[in-house]
Structures are given as C-alpha cells and as structure tokens.
Structure 1
Amino acid sequence: MTAVAIRAIWEDGADETIGLPSYESAGAAGADVRAHLPEGDIVLEPGARALVPTGLRIEIPEGFEVQVRPRSGLALKHGITLPNAPGTIDSDYRGPLGIIVLNAGQEAFTVEHGMRIAQLVVAPVVRAQFEPADALGETKRGESGFGSTGSG
C-alpha cells in the first residue's frame, strides 16, 4: 500500500485532543475525520443540513485529491449522509476543512464535538483534455440513458 503525505494544521484555538483524521482498521480506505464543535453540538432536524467544522486545514500534494464520503454506520443507523458525496478537496485549496452533513433520517440527530462525521479518501487525479469533435463514435448502447442497461 502506498502512503501519501497529507500535511494538516489546526485552526487557531482548535481542540487538538480530537485528533487528526485516522484509519480505524488495517484495511480502511477512508480516514475518519471528526467534528470540531467545542462551543456546542449541532442538532440536525430531518431534512436539515449543516456545515460541520473539523478545526483543520490540509495540504494535498499536486496530482491528488481528497474525497469526502459518508460513514456507512451513520447512514444506516441514522440517515446521516453528505449531499455532495463524494465531495472533492483539490490540491490547491488551503482553507478550513468543513463537512456538509445532511439528515436524511426520520428523527433529529445531534452532531457532537469529536464525533467521527465523515471519511477522507486520498485518490490520484487524472486530468482530461476536452476536445471539440464533429461526431462521436458509435456504441451498442448509443443514446439510451437511465435504466437502459437492464432492470434493477
């Protein structure tokens, strides 16, 4: 497994005891990131969303991105998801790391200080060169859209 160094700094006054993002099992692809809410919890009513601070800023090497993804346990048990999943943090962004969280569940959910709220997956970036064309190559599927490849 290849390791990529992601440099992290704490925002001024951040509670560093919550820890940096961390892999919670030997085979984990995503590092869990925690909510930084020293001034109080966030209560998300059903259908509500909020930007949850992490207290961090990160530096991603050029040629990589960090994808922000929901935690499956929160999604299954409480309906907590990320509306823009996977979110992308670009290598040239140096601002505060915040997680957009959505309560798609049926009951209010409380985001607590230090709670593992999302996971971060480091991925290589391949950039395309978009080119104008007069026509596109033909395929068996052609212009058939959503649901055209079969049931289910």
Structure 2
Amino acid sequence: MSTSTSTIETCLAGPLALEIVWNGDTVAGLKLSWAEGKSLELRTPAGEAVQAALARYVAGEGCHWPELPYAWDGTTEFTRQVLTELAKVPAGQKVSYGWLAARVGRPKAARAIGRVMANNRFPLIFPCHRVVGTSGALTGFGPGIDMKQYLLELEGAA
C-alpha cells in the first residue's frame, strides 16, 4: 500500500475476526472481535498472509504470524520490550504479569505490565490473552473475558 490514508482489512476464521488497521504502509493496530456480522475483506498480500495464519490458528494447527510493518509511533521503549518478550510466550502457555515484569528486568512492575496489556494495539499477534493474574485468574482483556477464555481453550491452556 502506498497511500497515507487509513484502510481496514478484515480477516475471518471460525468465530474470530481480526481487523488490520493500516495507516499508509504500516499497521496502526489490530482489532480482535467475534466474527458475527463481519465479512471477509482483504486488500493486500499482508492481509492474505494474516488470513491464512488466523485460519491455521483457529484450526488448531499452531500459528506463525507473518512479519508486519507495525507502527510503533507513540510507543515507549518499555512497551516495545514487553510486547517483544510477550511474543516469545508459546501458544498454550499462560504467564503472570509479575513473570513478564521479571522477564523484562522490572520485577516490581506488574502494574505497568497490566497497563501495557490494556493498551496493546496488536492483540493476538502480541498475545496479551496469555497473561493472567498470579493466581491464574483471567483478568482484563479488551475483547472480553469470554474471548480470552476461548483463545486459551483453543490453545489448550485453559
């Protein structure tokens, strides 16, 4: 894509919809939701690659998300560090906010990790649904706790 206007592609697989919000040539954000009422709308090779990855993910075939040109503008170095570490957490594994804080060298920053998860512009690909409370409780998730539960069950982690 070569324009500077925002466009949206919609990927669908099973009950999930993943909308890719493009701002010119970069991904400004992803929106994860239930697929009901949405229709498939692909415009780019990157969108087609995400669609294929989402279909594999929902089919339980594992998932290797394609590299995308993320728009990191307005994102702190701490946020990028946390999301980069989060992307290493394999499907089927849950981690706590405290665990993730320790992994990025800030063991007392569990609340800050929670803020990063709450503001994650790239859910599913940077899998904030795998982060749970210390007791294993499913805590906040933008698309809803029912979606978080579904994703964890899909991955065999629930």
TM-score w.r.t. the length of structure 1 is 0.28
Higher relative contact order (CA 8 A, sep 6+): 1
Greater helix fraction, Structure 1 or Structure 2: 2
Q: Which has the larger radius of gyration?
A: 1
Q: Give the number of the structure whose residues are more often strand, by fraction.
A: 1
Taking structure 2 as the reference length, what is the TM-score of the superposition? 0.28
